[in-house]
């Protein structure tokens, strides 16, 4: 692949850098302490086009390729993973999935609002009893005339308390050959749908994570995204691209850790000179730097494959596995460089570590990514 960025890609990266400096950086500590990002950030993200990347202009999108999407995601991840997650879910998992699988009517109904930031989307797959084994859903959608009636509970749903629409996965058929799962676009103001904020998270505290409870939620049959029984394929295709987005966000975390640690090492003095003079501190810094570069190159490879229309799912799992573990390592190494000051929230590295930790868990844990890669290597599914 060509690693040289085009003029457009350089420009969009600069725009994202400026956006983070202006709209995110001044608020990061306050949002983290308040456990809430200011919702006005969604409109601002829409205005600069970051919620419409890779979506056709015809549907309100901003066009652009997946490498540009990775560049923006890295910058947002460097600024605040809570904000990065809003984009990765509302655009990455919801809007892009509607663009890929939706009917013309569904695209026109939802995409302009999602790309402008008027609407927020959330992705409802996980349930209290169903995480990694995502095909084994207990939420049921039962056909009733020209409607479906949905009952079930969804857990850990990013953007859940804010969202206007949930891309919801429910078992709707027992037809053989499928996992019986279908995807639905459910407006969150539909009667019977209630949500409860999940508090006390280790990281991503600014993000609106929720439990969604569906009691006799009636949606028209036209709310189904893709044919009946295709829901598991919809979910897996969304997550294959989503994992690249998580990986790009992780590159941003690792880069923020590197920048903070290098600056601090050049200022803090111990034993009569700055700690940057100590070889073991340089080892910590160089380990972070290698993690940043390796994670970024794996991530860009996925973007390149998608943009060239080639298979990318296994490479996306590799990038997500490596980048998420690298982000945790990088933030932890940076915290070590900061010594005791790394442990209090006046300095940025503790938050980076808390935010990084979940990246090895969601959109498939590190173990699940290894099973995806192992299946590709051996031809044997160990799920």
Please report, as ranges, the residues that interact with ligand FAD according to CB under 6 A.
89, 122-126, 131-132, 156-158, 201, 204, 209, 358, 361-363, 365, 367-368, 371, 383
Q: What are 144's two structure tokens?
A: 């009733």
DSSP assigned state of 5: P
Tell which residue, 216, 100, 95, 206, has the closest CA to residue 158: 206
Choice between 338 and 362, CB closer to ligand FAD: 362
Choice between 246 and 326, CB closer to ligand FAD: 246
CA–CA distance, 318 with 320 (Å, rounded to integer): 6
Beta bridge partners of 123: 167
Choice between 88 and 116, CB closer to ligand FAD: 88
Choice between 248 and 305, CB closer to ligand FAD: 248
DSSP per-residue codes, 115-172: HHTSS-EEEE--BTTBSSSTT----EEEEETTEEEEEEEEEEETTTTT-SEEEEEEE-
Min separation Cβ 375 and ligand FAD, Å = 11
Min separation Cβ 371 and ligand FAD, Å = 6
Q: Which residue is nearest to ligand FAD (CB)?
A: 131
CA–CA distance, 85 with 330 (Å, rounded to integer): 19
Q: Output the CA torsion sign for 129, 119, 238, 7.
A: negative
Looking at the annotation, which residues are catalytic? 363
Tell which residue, 234, 123, 227, has the closest CA to residue 175: 227
Min separation Cβ 310 and ligand FAD, Å = 26
Min separation Cβ 268 and ligand FAD, Å = 33
Min separation Cβ 252 and ligand FAD, Å = 17
Min separation Cβ 22 and ligand FAD, Å = 27
377 sits in which H/E element: helix 366-378
Cβ atoms within 10 A of the Cβ of 70, count? 28
Cβ atoms within 10 A of the Cβ of 287, count? 14
Choice between 170 and 284, CB closer to ligand FAD: 170
Q: Output the CA torsion sign for 83, 85, 89, 93.
A: positive
Choice between 132 and 263, CB closer to ligand FAD: 132
- Which residue, chain included where needed, has tokens 């919620």? 51
End-to-end, the C-alpha distance of the chain in Å comes to 32
């Amino acid at each position: 692949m060509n690693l040289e960025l085009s003029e457009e890609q350089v420009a969009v990266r600069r725009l994202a850098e400026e956006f983070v400096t202006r709209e995110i950086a001044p608020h990061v500590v306050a949002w983290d302490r308040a456990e809430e990002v200011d919702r006005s950030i969604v409109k601002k993200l829409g205005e600069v086009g970051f919620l419409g990347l890779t979506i056709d202009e015809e549907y309100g999108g901003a066009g652009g390729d997946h490498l540009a999407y990775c560049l923006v995601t890295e910058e947002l991840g460097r600024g605040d993973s809570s904000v990065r997650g809003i984009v990765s879910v509302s655009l990455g998992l919801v809007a892009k999935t509607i663009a890929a699988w939706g009917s013309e009517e569904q695209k026109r109904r939802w995409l302009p609002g999602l790309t402008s930031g008027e609407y927020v989307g959330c992705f409802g797959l996980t349930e209290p009893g169903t995480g990694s084994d995502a095909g084994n859903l207990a939420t049921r959608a039962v056909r009733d005339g020209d409607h479906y009636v949905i009952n079930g509970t969804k857990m850990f749903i990013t953007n859940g308390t804010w969202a206007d629409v949930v891309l919801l996965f429910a078992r709707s058929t027992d037809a053989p050959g499928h996992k019986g799962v279908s995807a639905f676009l459910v407006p969150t103001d539909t009667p019977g749908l209630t949500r409860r904020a999940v508090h006390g998270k280790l990281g991503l505290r600014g993000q609106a994570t929720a439990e969604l409870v569906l009691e006799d939620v009636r949606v028209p049959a036209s709310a189904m995204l893709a044919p009946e029984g295709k829901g598991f394929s919809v979910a897996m295709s969304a997550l294959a691209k989503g994992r690249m987005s998580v990986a790009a966000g992780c590159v941003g975390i690792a880069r923020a850790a590197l920048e903070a640690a290098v600056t601090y090492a050049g200022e803090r003095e111990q034993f009569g000179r700055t700690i940057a003079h100590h070889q073991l501190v340089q080892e910590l810094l160089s380990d972070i730097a290698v993690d940043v570069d390796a994670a970024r190159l794996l991530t860009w490879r996925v973007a390149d494959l998608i943009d060239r229309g080639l298979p990318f799912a296994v490479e996306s799992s590799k990038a997500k596995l490596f980048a998420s573990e690298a982000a945790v390592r990088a933030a932890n190494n940076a915290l070590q460089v900061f010594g005791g000051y790394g442990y209090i929230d006046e300095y940025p590295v503790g938050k980076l570590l808390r935010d990084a930790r979940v990246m090895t868990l969601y959109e498939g844990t590190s173990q699940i990514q290894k099973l995806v890669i192992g299946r590709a290597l051996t031809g044997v599914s160990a799920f």
